[in-house]
Amino acid sequence: MNISGNTIFIPGSTSGIGLALAQRLQAEGNTVVIGGRRTELLEKLAAEHGFDTVRIDTADAGSIRTAAAEVLRQHPDLNVVIAMAGIMRVEDWHHADGFLASAEEVVTTNVLGPIRLIAAFVEHLRTRPDATIVTVSSGLAFAPLAVTPSYNASKAAIHMLSESVRLQLADTPVRVVELVPPSVRTALLPGQEESEFAMPLDEFADEVISLLASEPDAKEIQVERVKFLRYGEVRGDYDQVVATLNAADPHGK
């Protein structure tokens, strides 16, 4: 992915990692369109930062179709989509009422959302030079946090989806890049913004932009902090990684 000169749509970018990356990508010389559910917040961010905006609920198939049509109408040169939106829930799987509704919401947002986003944009992206789909998985796709089973599974699904779609689109101009965050200080879970275990948001976003600039052909964007989780099985210390993760961070990402 080229670091500048793109037109980028980032649904799920009104806060946290999405907003931090939107600001930095705009500063690198990209046109950035941010998406979210709250119209008043979108208007505020547009006034403060000069973003173009579109309302989108990535848990709603109809909203994705409507938003995609609006983005493409306003920005026919769009060449990058970053599927940022996601939710994380603490769940208790001892009883169905402790997890079922939550699990369904997580899968709808974290798995069906990116699938529907790709469906809405892939035909357009195939016509664009330097086109890129950026998916967002997690270190928890590779080592599980006990209290968030559905989130872990949804991000593992995104990892394999990214691997598979990259193979299929190898005969097109569209690149598939997977962003693999560690735990980052955001509001994804209550208390995570103050977590000493989590990586500071600005530090994470700065390292991501640096990696995008220095590794334009990378298939995965991995900050140094996530490699402990990402490569446990490869190193042969997976059980230790899982034990350390769950002892250190009961609410991590």
Listing DSSP states for 167-225 in one string gives HHGGGSS-EEEEE---SBSSSSSTTGGG-SSSBPHHHHHHHHHHHHHH-TT-SEE--GG
Choosing from 51, 142, 151, 204, the catalytic residue is 151
Q: What is the pLDDT of residue 191?
A: 87
Quote the pLDDT of residue 127: 97
pLDDT above 90 for 248: no
Residue 85: band (very low, low, confident or very high) from pLDDT cuts 50, 70, 90: confident
Give percent of the chain above pLDDT 90.
92
CATH of domain 7-248: 3.40.50.720
What average pLDDT does the segment 74-99 reach? 95
Q: What is the pLDDT of residue 253?
A: 40
> What is the average pLDDT across 143-162?
97
- Mean pLDDT throughout 162-188? 97
- The SS3 assignment for 251 reads coil
Catalytic-residue membership of 238: no
pLDDT value of position 251: 52
Nearest to 167 by CA among 219, 233, 111: 219
What are 199-232's pLDDT values in tens digits? Answer: 999 999 999 999 999 999 999 999 999 999 999 9
pLDDT digits (tens, 9 = 90+) for 46-63: 999 999 999 999 999 999
pLDDT for the residue 252: 43
Angle value at C-alpha 228, between 85 and 147, nearest 5 degrees: 55
Has residue 4 got a pLDDT over 50? yes
pLDDT of residue 138: 98
pLDDT digits (tens, 9 = 90+) for 102-127: 999 999 999 999 999 999 999 999 99
In this predicted structure, what is the pLDDT of residue 250?
54
